[in-house]
Structure formats: C-alpha cells, structure tokens
Amino acid sequence: MALPLRSLTPAAPDPILGLTEAFKADSRPEKVNLSVGVYVDDSGVTPVIPSVLEAERRLLEKAGSKGYLPIDGRPAYREAVRDLVFGADHEIVASGRSATAQTPGGTGALRVAADFLLQTGSSKTIWLSEPTWPNHPQIFAMAGFALRTYPYLDESGRRVDSDRMLGTLGSATPGDVVLLQGSCHNPSGVDPDPETWAATGEVVVERELLPIVDFAYQGFGFGLREDADWQAGLARPGLEFLVCSSFSKNFALYNERVGALTVVAADSGRAASALSHLKIAIRSNYSNPPAHGGDIVGTILADAALRVQWEVDLAGMRNRILGNRAALVDSLLAAGVPGDWEPIRRQRGMFALLGLSAGQVARLRDEFAVYVVGRGRINVAGLTAANLPHVVASVKAVIES
Ligand code: LMR
C-alpha cells in the first residue's frame, strides 16, 4: 500500500517567510528585503535592544531553573501583560474579569484562541478584514473555522471604509467571531479612527459578535496608550472579547516567541472558567510555554528603571519608522512616481501598502532584487539611507512601464 506521503506534491512557499528564503538565495548585491516585518536599524541590523540586554544579564546572574512553567505561564508575567495591555488602573484589571495566558508569540496566541473558541462551542465562522495578514486565514482555517471577510479599505487603499466595514459586520450572525487588528494594521498601516472604533463597539454589541483583537504592535505606531485606542470602542463593561499580544516587535524578541492571550469575560467567575479551558487548549497543543522570552519581558516590566529604558528603546524604533515614512514619501514625490503617496506619512506601524499588481511585485523582485509582499506591502522599517534610492527608482520603473 502506498504511503500517503508518497503522493504529496510540494506546497506553495509561505507568502511572507518564503520571500526571505528566496532573498537569502539571491546573489545580487543591490538586493533589498522589505518583505518580513522585522525592525532593522539604518545599518540593516535587527538589534537586541538595551533593555533586553540588561534583562538577560540579570537573568544569567540569577540561579535559574529550566523546570516546566505552569500551563498558562508565569503568574507575574501574566499580570504584567494584562496591565500593559489595558493600563494598571483600567476597569478590566480592577474587576478581575480577565485571564491571561503566556503563549509562544502572537501567532501562538491566535491559534490557542481559535482552539479555545471551537472547543468551548463558539460559532465556527470568523470574519477577517480584506486585506489582512496572510497567516490569519491559514491559522483559523487550519483550526476549523469557516472564513468570511469584511471590506476594510476604500478604493484608494489609503483610508478605512467604515461604512462598508460596519455594514458587512452588521450582517454577521450573532455569535460569530470577528478578528480586529488593534493598531498598525497589517498589511495596510491604515487604522480606524476613534469614531470608527466606537461604531465598531456598537455593532459588536448589537450583533452579539465575539471580537478577537490582534494586538501585535502595541507601542510601535504612536505610543503604548495611543495604540490602545481600540479599547475606547471595545473595552466596555460587560463586553467579552479576546486579545492576542505579541512581543516580537515592541521588545524586538522575534526569535524568542513570546506573546499572550487575554480573555476578557463579563465577570471574574467567567474569566476563571475561561482560563480552565484555555489550559486544555494549551496542554493539548504545546503543553506549556517556553520561558526565556517571557522572563525577559517580565523582568523589564517589573523593574521601574528597566521599564523606562524599554520605553526609550521602543520610542527609538517607533521614531525611526516614522522618519522612514517621511523619507519614503518625500523621495517618491521628488522622483515624480505616479500615485497617492502623502497619506503613507501619517499611517501607523511597520507596514505600508503601495498598491502594486502581482506583475509589478514580481518585476520588483526579478528585475530589481527588491522583495515586497503581495499588493506591494513593504516593511517601512527595512528602508535605510543606503537602499531608499534604489527602492524608489525600482518602484518608479515598475509603475511607469
Ligand atoms: C509580517 O507580517 O511580516 C510579520 O508579522 C512576520 C510574520 O510572521 O509574518
């Protein structure tokens, strides 16, 4: 009998991480990788930020242990993450109506959220923004969800189309799950304004939807609290939702895989029940989380001086990205590249969507060695003084011919 593996044909490479594999194999000296969302400094290096270096030094000095963590992670880490997400004086913290579990990255949090919801009998339908991060549909489809999409951007691709977005969500079936990106929308960099968040909260309440907030970039856009403006719409008394946090970007801890899933329930009793089910979802998947990345984040958030240092480190990354946005727009305009570029200056987070066709994206890679994700999503952090002229000239060439 033929083994099932014998009939397997190769799967398509990952639409983001697969590009970095191709980039590494490219021998052209002018190559530029603007695909995966990883921060680099102006010399093209992804630094270990000073607060993380100091936390690691302290951890090394402590007589540690490599024993298992609890299924839901270290208690102090879980509390620190909750306070970071909401602010220590928030009603959700005071009421104790949330439960946080430590997870391997934000992706781990999303998968645990999916498993938890299906295992506790939620709707099997999830609504995703169109466009969204390409891994979102894969994570939720693999877990067993049926996927629906809501329109997100207007025709310009530079603004949220709140009427169409909210109109579509208004047709969702009560109980359906809706994935909302808290800030720094991936791939567009375009976020809802406060009025749209407030109206989203109304639709969620009216239609009895269950939001999952993917909060992977807290502090990477405009600031730790500024990037939490979604909470004015969603963090209302009684409203239940989930938050997936990632510390890959804001602590530059990409390969440590550190994140968290927070369930906000109507009251503390329901939060405790939710945690008991989260633990089953985790135990049946990866058993318990890796410790090192969480210990770094926990050490920083627990120490006043290290926390200040981290906020300085974070502001440094944020400001470089904002500077890159301005430099990109200025260069595109100065080069006379046809397009509506000015709004990119005021967008939030790592990404900008240039709005390129599949053919233009392929030409950027094949003719100019510039690697960008579908529709021309670029990692703005990957621009440097050295590569910007080549990137702009290449974009101009593929748009004009
Ligand atoms: C991205 O969108 O590039 C990042 O979130 C990294 C990833 O895992 O895709």
- Predicted pLDDT at 56: 97
Please give the model's pTM, rounded to 2 decimal places: 0.96
pLDDT digits (tens, 9 = 90+) for 290-318: 999 999 999 999 999 999 999 999 999 99
CA dihedral (265, 267, 268, 274) positive or negative: negative
- Predicted pLDDT at 7: 83
- Predicted pLDDT at 237: 86
Q: Is residue 309 part of a domain?
A: no
Tell the residue nearest (CA) to atom 6 of ligand 1: 37
Which residue among 133, 230, 310, 341 is the active-site one? 133
Q: H or E stretch including 181?
A: strand 177-181
Residue 192 and residue 200 in contact, taking contact as beta carbons nearer than 8 Å: yes
Whether 295 and 205 share a structural domain? yes
Percentage of the chain modeled with pLDDT above 90: 96
175: left (phi over 0), alpha (psi -120 to 50) or beta: left
Task: Based on the residue annotation, tell me whether 214 is a catalytic residue of this protein.
Answer: yes
Task: Using the mean position of ligand 1's atoms as its centre, give its distance from the Cα of residue 283 in Å.
Answer: 25
Whether 173 and 320 share a structural domain? no
Residue 358 has pLDDT above 80, yes or no: yes
Question: What total number of domains does the chain contain?
Answer: 2
Task: Using the mean position of ligand 1's atoms as its centre, give its distance from the Cα of residue 248 in Å.
Answer: 10
Whether 226 and 85 share a structural domain? yes
Whether 214 and 347 share a structural domain? no
Q: Which backbone phi and psi does 197 adopt, to 5 degrees?
A: -65, -40
Whether 220 and 265 share a structural domain? yes
Whether 155 and 279 share a structural domain? yes
**What number is the average pLDDT over the span 115-128?**
97
Of all residues in the chain, what percent are helix, strand and coil, respectively (each to 5)?
50, 15, 40
Q: Is residue 183 part of a domain?
A: yes
Task: Using the mean position of ligand 1's atoms as its centre, give its distance from the Cα of residue 95 in Å.
Answer: 34
Q: Is residue 246 part of a domain?
A: yes
Q: Is 133 in the pocket of ligand 1 (CB under 6 A)?
A: yes
* Cis geometry, peptide bond prior to residue 131 (ω within 30 degrees of 0): yes
Whether 242 and 153 share a structural domain? yes
Q: Which atom of ligand 1 is nearest to the CA of 14?
A: 9
Q: Is residue 166 part of a domain?
A: yes
pLDDT digits (tens, 9 = 90+) for 175-209: 999 999 999 999 999 999 999 999 999 999 999 99
Q: Is residue 195 part of a domain?
A: yes
Residue 35 has pLDDT above 70, yes or no: yes
Q: Is residue 57 part of a domain?
A: no
- 4 pLDDT tier (thresholds 50, 70, 90): confident
Domain boundary at 268, 302, 336, which?
302
Q: Is 108 in the pocket of ligand 1 (CB under 6 A)?
A: no
Tell the residue nearest (CA) to atom 4 of ligand 1: 37
185 closest CA partner among 209, 206, 161, 167: 161
Whether 289 and 391 share a structural domain? no
d(CA 351, CA 375): 12
Range of the domain at 330: 13-48+316-400
d(CA 227, CA 182): 7
Domain boundary at 275, 302, 329, which?
302
Q: Is residue 8 part of a domain?
A: no
d(CA 265, CA 272): 9
Residues in the chain: 401
Residue 272 has pLDDT above 80, yes or no: yes
- 1 pLDDT tier (thresholds 50, 70, 90): low
Residue 273 and residue 266 in contact, taking contact as beta carbons nearer than 8 Å: no
Task: Using the mean position of ligand 1's atoms as its centre, give its distance from the Cα of residue 387 in Å.
Answer: 21
Whether 217 and 152 share a structural domain? yes
Tell the residue nearest (CA) to atom 1 of ligand 1: 37
Whether 292 and 370 share a structural domain? no
- Rounded to 5°, angle at Cα 158 from 153 and 164: 25
Could you tell me which residues come within 8 angstroms of residue 38 by beta carbon, excluding any fewer than 6 positions away?
46, 254, 379, 381, 382
DSSP secondary structure, 157-222, as one string: SSSB-HHHHHHHHTTSPTT-EEEEE-SS-TTT-----HHHHHHHHHHHHHHT-EEEEEE--TTTSS
Distance between start and end Cα atoms, the chain: 54
Q: Is residue 96 part of a domain?
A: yes
**What number is the average pLDDT over the span 23-27?**
97
Task: Based on the residue annotation, tell me whether 249 is a catalytic residue of this protein.
Answer: yes
DSSP annotation of 291? S
Whether 295 and 329 share a structural domain? no
CATH code for the domain of 274: 3.40.640.10
Residue-averaged pLDDT of the chain: 97
Q: What is the dihedral of CA 86, 89, 95, 98, to 10 degrees?
A: 20
- Predicted pLDDT at 5: 83
Look up tokens 């295992």; give the residue. 119
Which residue among 72, 230, 249, 341 is the active-site one? 249
DSSP secondary structure, 37-52, as one string: -----TTS--PPPHHH
pLDDT digits (tens, 9 = 90+) for 367-396: 999 999 999 999 999 999 999 999 999 999
d(CA 51, CA 300): 7
Whether 209 and 269 share a structural domain? yes
For a mutational test of ligand 1's pocket, the pick from 35, 39, 135, 220, i.e. the residue with the most ligand atoms closer than 8 A to its C-beta, is: 135
Task: Using the mean position of ligand 1's atoms as its centre, give its distance from the Cα of residue 395 in Å.
Answer: 22
- Predicted pLDDT at 63: 77
Domain boundary at 302, 335, 369, which?
302
CATH code for the domain of 396: 3.90.1150.10
Residue type, 326: A
